[in-house]
Amino acid sequence: MKLLDGAIAAVDHGGSLGRASALFPHAPRPFVDLSTGINPHSYPLFELPATALLRLPESERLRELTEIAAATYGAPSAAHVAAAPGTQILLPRVASLVKPGKALVLGPTYAEHARAAAIAGHTVAEVSDFDALVDADLAVLVNPNNPDGRAIERDRLLDLAARLRAEGGLLVIDEAFMDVGPSEQSLAGDVGEGGVVVLRSFGKFFGLAGVRLGFALAGKLMVERLDAQLGPWAVAGSALEYGIRALADTRWQDDMRRRLAADAERLDALLGRCGVPVAGGTSLFRYLSFPDALALFSALGERGILLRHFDDRPQALRAGLPGSEAEWQRLEGALAAWASRRDDAPKEIVR
């Protein structure tokens, strides 16, 4: 168990081109940004009605959004869905649904959960063992996990939730990447029982991270409490319009799931050819774990290709999917160059 006392400090993330430029000032531009798990094939952009920008968002339109979200994610009803300007802003609010106590985060995982729990006043620790979560007042896990893709079975989650609920505790399951499965392990349909909050992210799968839209699926009373904190116009007009259209478009979603799975397979094959082992992930990102990880991060960065590295795990990397054939080519070239230099390196030392 790792105690996370100073966890309120800001944490490092992928997805910042500003920081990438500072790190690799001589890299060719534009950067190929594989540092996030955001889908590079976004839901098709469309022209918004001007009223989406000009007028206060209508409560009827918000109601439509929560109804569609409930149907798409499989929540019991719209009354079990709180919509917010991104999942991120929900984290401290969700962590505040139980009074300050002991928060346990199943790690390693997305660092903002520990930070949010600390902000909410909890004592926070990271545990690596699922069974240890039962001692928490607030237990948090990501399913499937970011960055390694580890999935936990629904039965085990329901059992944990029941045991936490019996003690007045709360289980938070961040299903940010559940759009690409394994959907049979989702607890979206089980939030009516209480004691569970499921978080769903809109921006990652739909490739619209700038729109800022996320959801908490929870018992009705908890949704009411979250809605009260967010106030009447938390979701911007553009997020309402994109959310309603894209979440209802199950055909696009099915096609995209297939496309992403094929892309992930292609990425694994490419990495494999260059001697980079893939240790896990989802079809929105692949998880790499091997001794030369930092060297690969730097070599690709200098060629303008950004992976995600982790300060506390130098052997780990996360790689998102290239978005175009040109990006695939740049990645392939950079990987091949790195692999051939790596093959040469021992000889140079011997010489």
Residues at the interface with its own copies (CB under 8 A): 8, 10, 13, 15-18, 33, 36, 38, 42, 45, 50-60, 85-86, 88-89, 91-92, 112, 115-116, 119, 203, 207-212, 228-239, 242
Is 59 or 340 the residue whose CB approaches its own copies more closely? 59
- Residue 349 CB, shortest distance to its own copies, in Å, is 41
**DSSP E strands, the chain:** 2-3, 32-33, 81-84, 102-106, 123-127, 138-142, 170-174, 196-201, 214-217, 278-282, 285-289, 305-306, 308-309, 316-320
Amino acid letter, residue 314: P
Residue with smaller CB distance to its own copies, 237 or 301: 237
In angstroms, give the least distance from the CB of 4 to its own copies.
Answer: 15
Q: Measured from the CB atom, is 85 or 194 closer to its own copies?
A: 85
Q: How far is the CB of 173 from its own copies (least distance, A)?
A: 19
The backbone torsions φ and ψ at residue 14, rounded to the nearest 5 degrees and listed phi first, read -80, 180
- Closer by beta carbon to its own copies, 71 or else 236: 236
Q: Cβ(37)–Cβ(283) under 8 Å?
A: no
Give me the numbers of helices (H) and strands (E) for the chain, helices first please. Answer: 11, 14
Choose among 342, 270, 322: nearest CA to 31: 322
Given a contact cutoff of 8 angstroms between Cβ atoms, the answer to whether 177 and 144 are in contact is yes
CB of 121 to its own copies, least distance (A): 11
Report the residue number, 232 or 272, with the smaller CB distance to its own copies.
232
Residue 53 or residue 162: which is nearer to its own copies going by CB?
53
For 295, the 3-state DSSP assignment is helix
Q: How far is the CB of 295 from its own copies (least distance, A)?
A: 27
Q: Which of 175, 183, 242 is nearest to 213 (CA)?
A: 242
